[in-house]
Amino acid sequence: MVGVWYILHYFVLSGRQKVILPPPHRVWAESFWGWGNEVRGDLWEALLVTSRLSLIGLVIAIIYGIILALLMNVSKISERALFPWAVVLQTLPILALIPLIDVWFQSIDPWYFGFDADYKKKLIVCVLIAVFPIITNTFFGLKSAERNLHDMMTLHRANRVIRAWKLEFPAAMPAVFTGFRIAAGLSVIGAIVAEFLFARGGIGIGNSIRLYNGLARYDDLLATIIVSSILGILVFWVFGFFGWVVTRHWHASAVDRA
């Protein structure tokens, strides 16, 4: 990719186009290198702000996603009632909802959960973008337990709680952590989108992208994009590792990776 980047800059682009895509060594020198680099310090501060927002949004999405999946797993009626709304969450046009979210949640109590109203608006956007994979993967995982094991539970007269705890949840773990990994990347995207659209509050990666784009500082803009990509990859890997730790002793995919 770095080679393609150099080829695009020196051999494909021409004139003013080269300004938009500076070479990698210049991005490194201008935005990352040097202990006193002001841009680098701003990037790390923005990274911390966005990381906090994306992780809080991911935790909220995990809680709501698992609860909805459990409710859908209770009965066919619950599934038919809730699953269409989960699909609606995935298809919502976030950009069109921004003015509505801004108006609806303008008067939220700023002390509720310790976040101000603007921060909660960003969390809402982050959760809306990240929650769908958790719902679908958890629900699919709960349904993936083998039928003969369900029959064995029935023979032992296991109640619904025991069946869910000892059979459905263990069977669902690989799918659940797959959903977590997908949602982790989406939560970073949701946090950046929310910061880009709601400019008030802490200066995160989304705010930095808006700022550097407006000032035509393309070196710093590309550096910000690189940092956001690294954040998404790290969060994705972390949940992949947790999934491997939980399932490594018994699930085939984790054993193969080991």
What is the DSSP secondary structure assignment for residue 205, as one 8-state letter?
H
Q: pLDDT band at 171, cuts 50/70/90?
A: confident
- Residue 25, domain member (yes or no): no
- Residue 18, domain member (yes or no): no
Whether pTM > 0.85 for this model: the answer is no
Q: pLDDT band at 207, cuts 50/70/90?
A: confident
Q: Name the packing angle between helices 205-214 and 218-247 (round to 10°).
A: 160
pLDDT (average), residues 173-202: 86
User: In angstroms, rounded to a whole number, what is the distance separating the alpha carbons of residues 99 and 9?
Assistant: 39
**Residue 138: per-residue pLDDT:** 92
**Residue 251: per-residue pLDDT:** 60
pLDDT (average), residues 136-141: 91
Nearest to 123 by CA among 105, 135, 138: 105
Nearest to 131 by CA among 74, 44, 70, 69: 69
Residue 213 CA, chain-centre distance (Å), reads 23
- Residue 172, domain member (yes or no): yes
pLDDT (average), residues 76-91: 86
Q: What is the residue range of 196's domain?
A: 41-257
Q: What is the mean pLDDT of the chain?
A: 82
- Residue 183, domain member (yes or no): yes
Q: Is the pLDDT of residue 156 over 60?
A: yes
User: In angstroms, rounded to a whole number, what is the distance separating the alpha carbons of residues 40 and 25?
Assistant: 15
Could you tell me if 57 and 123 are in contact, meaning their C-beta atoms sit under 8 angstroms apart? yes
Query: What CATH number is associated with residue 246?
Result: 1.10.3720.10
Q: 102-124 b/e with 16+ CB inside 10 Å = b?
A: eeeeeebeeeeeebebbbbbbbb
- Residue 76, domain member (yes or no): yes
Percent of the residues in the chain that have a pLDDT greater than 90, as a whole number: 14
- Residue 19, domain member (yes or no): no
Query: Exposed, middle or buried, 217 (CB in 10 Å: 0-12/13-18/19+)?
Result: middle
The CB density around residue 144, as the number of other CB atoms within 10 Å, is 12
User: In angstroms, rounded to a whole number, what is the distance separating the alpha carbons of residues 125 and 175?
Assistant: 24
User: In angstroms, rounded to a whole number, what is the distance separating the alpha carbons of residues 181 and 174?
Assistant: 11
Q: What are the tens digits of pLDDT across the range 97-124?
A: 877 777 776 655 544 555 667 788 888 8
- Residue 110, domain member (yes or no): yes
Could you tell me if 163 and 171 are in contact, meaning their C-beta atoms sit under 8 angstroms apart? no
Nearest to 97 by CA among 73, 129, 74: 129
Could you tell me if 195 and 50 are in contact, meaning their C-beta atoms sit under 8 angstroms apart? yes
- Residue 238, domain member (yes or no): yes
Q: What are the tens digits of pLDDT across the range 209-225?
A: 888 888 888 888 888 88
Percent of the residues in the chain that have a pLDDT greater than 70, as a whole number: 88
Total tally of structural domains belonging to the chain? 1
